[in-house]
A and B are shown apart, each in its own frame.
Chain A
Amino acid sequence: MIDFLNAIVALSNFVLIPAISYGSQLALGALGVTLIYGILRFSNFAHGDTMAFGAMATILFTWWLQGLGVSLGPLPTALLALPIGIAITALFLLGTDRLVYQFYRRQKAAPVILVIVSMGVMFVMNGVVRFIIGVDDQRFADGERFIISARDFREMTGLAEGLALRTSTVITVITAVLVVALLFWFLNKTRTGKSMRAFSDNEDLALLSGINPERVVAITWIIVAALATVAGVLYGLDKSFKPFTYFQLLLPIFAAAIVGGLGSPIGAIAGGFVIAFSEVTVTYAFRKVLGYLMPESLQPDGLVQLLSTDYKFAVSFAILIIVLLIRPTGLFRGKAV
């Protein structure tokens, strides 16, 4: 019985909890990508760097608050700075839209051109972020680090394995749930949300029924700014903020959005968790867990690791390719890619 508990705890500590928080962050990122794909009809390669921009704006404001001595007690101050980060990012995205995307939209440019344009935007944003905050790791997390630390857990339960629950992990999951609930309520219940979905389903019909396209576009960018900033800040709180890592995050985010079905919000969430869980479980060494579960004679000598952790990104790509081959519209029937 104790062995069984130890196995569960080890598995939760190294697989379930990291995968759930990583999955939530991916899901929030993928939601932004999928919204842009559904409504503006292109794959936004600048999304990773939008997350970095949002996180940067929030961090700068967090530092200002910390300088003033404002804090949220056990919670990170960044949560307080989040709304302002979102507002700045929204203005930035609206400005980008005015300056760049609007021109191509008026020209009725093909989606593939918009993809290339977004790549250009990506490099510019990348540069802006690095220019403002620098290329190094930035620390902005404060408040209590742990809800329960591995050492405390071991002492409390007397188990051999520890279970660490970090504040940032819990905040990540709670915020993700709240944001997703809010987004779905907005898309399904409000008039603006409905007009956005109408615009996504059939642009011409939506225009005929009097929906103002510029307004839909603007609201989409604002929502995307909110999603990207929240995802970026949560990722930064949970891991660490470094502009370059957000650029790398683009790959699993797109994999998540495509696996779930581009254009489908539920798909984006499911995709995020599928990618996160496969990345973590496939590269986890199960020796310890199996060691607890198996009788002594059957205990494994090797690490029981399917793939070395070097191949983490390869896992998301493998899933991406399999899904594209077998079910190009994704798990939740998004738009064909």
Chain B
Amino acid sequence: MKHLLAATAASALMASAASAEDVKLGVFLGFTGPIESLVAEMGPAAEFAIEEANASDKFLGGASVSSVRADTTCVDAGAATAAAERLITADGVAGIVGGDCSGVTGAALQNVALPNGMVMISPSATSPGLSHNNNEDNGLFFRTAPSDARQGVVMTEVLMDQDIMEVAVTYTNNDYGKGLADSFQAAFEAAGGTVTISAAHEDGKADYSAEVGALAAAGGQRLVVAGYVDQGGAGIVRAALDTGAFDTFHFPDGMIGTALSDTFGDEIDGSSGQHPSPSDELAAAFTTLVDGAFDSTSPFAPESYDAAALLLLAMQAAGSADPAEYAGKVMDVANAPGEPIGVGELDKAFEILAAGGEVDYVGASGVELIGPGEAAGNYREITVESGSIETVQFR
């Protein structure tokens, strides 16, 4: 008993001694649940940035950084709230990388982060509902992933540039599909276009001829399919091609993948699309840096690295790991003016910031935070030519 007490006291002492120089970051992602396969790369990506800061001796005058993992489960708001609570009250983290899915992120933000004044930077929550306008977040919430509302605007630009003014829209009947279809319709109509019909389709059906019948009756120069390529989206495209209702399509991110060109080949020649993607140079730089430590091309892995890096840079800029002090610096370090900071250059950035200079963090995904503290997003515009997906440009 004596030993135990002594040991406890000693470790408590050590812990408090360490915390004076040790900054903890919460890595708050869905290590279990529907996107656990993505998180298997996102978690290491965030921790990779933390390691990089540790390797530098310039962060907050030589402080060390450690990470604490917590599980959002992606779907269970109650469990996510409890996990975030633990991170802040028990582990005493100075900032949180996360959450991942939009629903649990919103819950943890409202119930835990806001009352405790904690900064959260999410690498993957894309719901438009999380933007500042709809969500009073006291300037504590940011994301390195673009909102789906942004994709609606980019999609409008892509279509308008091809002189397409009239489209039919079908979307998969869930939050993603509905959110994207609504934001696209708003942006497209604001730009003077016409959406002839916006109809939902259910995933997992065998037959979409009735849905396509309605879409064909409404007409349009192109059919926008806001669905999934391995689900109903492909069924809609198949039925539309078979009945001759539409020859060309427009595909948002959920539809773009090798499955698309494998399934339809040159039948969909002339179709267009876009999906969030860092430019080739950024992706190559990140892959070189990571050097196989994890899969650097996995979705949201670059964004996870950037989320952790942004937190660290904001702390350095404020000269403090107190969320109340560094929250206001996140936008400053993410955007111009300042020295552009690529991946692997945290050490350099720390030095500039310590000297009172300014940085413009570019990172692995080309971070540019707009309006409500969310990434503008880099979109790759594609077109289908003789059965293969070709890059047109990056937007």
Contact = CB atoms under 8 A, between A and B. Distances in A.
Interface of A: 13-15, 18, 22, 136-137, 145-146, 149-151, 153-154, 162-164, 166, 235-236, 239-242, 244-245, 248, 279-280, 283-289, 303-305, 308-310, 312
B242 A285 contact: no
B214 A309 contact: yes
B177 to A, nearest CB: 13
A285 B243 contact: no
B217 A288 contact: yes
A288 B216 contact: yes
B206 interface: yes
Contact of B210 (A242, A287, A312): A312
Interface string B211-238: 1111011110000000000100001001
Contacts of B205: 245, 248
Contact of A164 (B173, B206, B235, B243): B243
Contacts of A305: 214, 217
A308 B199 contact: yes
Interface of B: 173, 197, 199-202, 204-207, 209-214, 216-219, 230, 235, 238, 242-245, 247
What 4 A-B pairs have minimum CB-CB distances, sorted nearest first?
A150-B244, A285-B217, A162-B244, A239-B206
Contact of A283 (B210, B238, B243): B210
The dominant DSSP class at the B interface is mixed
A14 B216 contact: yes
B210 A284 contact: yes
A158 to B, nearest CB: 15
A284 to B, nearest CB: 5
Contacts of A145: 242
A35 B202 CA distance: 32
Contacts, number: 94
Contacts of B247: 151
Contact of B213 (A14, A137, A154, A235): A14
Nearest to A244: B204
Contacts of A137: 230
Contacts of A285: 197, 213-214, 217-218
A175 B216 CA distance: 29
A279 to B, nearest CB: 7
B206 A303 contact: no
A287 B217 contact: yes
A164 B213 CA distance: 13
Contact of A166 (B199, B201, B212, B242): B242
B217 A13 contact: no
Contact of B243 (A13, A245, A288, A303): A13
A15 B213 CA distance: 8
B202 to A, nearest CB: 7
A242 B217 contact: no
Contact of B214 (A239, A241, A303): A303
A22 B207 CA distance: 9
Contacts of A136: 230
Contact of B207 (A239, A284, A286, A308): A239
11 contacts: A22-B209, A153-B244, A164-B244, A239-B206, A240-B206, A242-B206, A280-B213, A285-B197, A287-B218, A305-B214, A309-B211
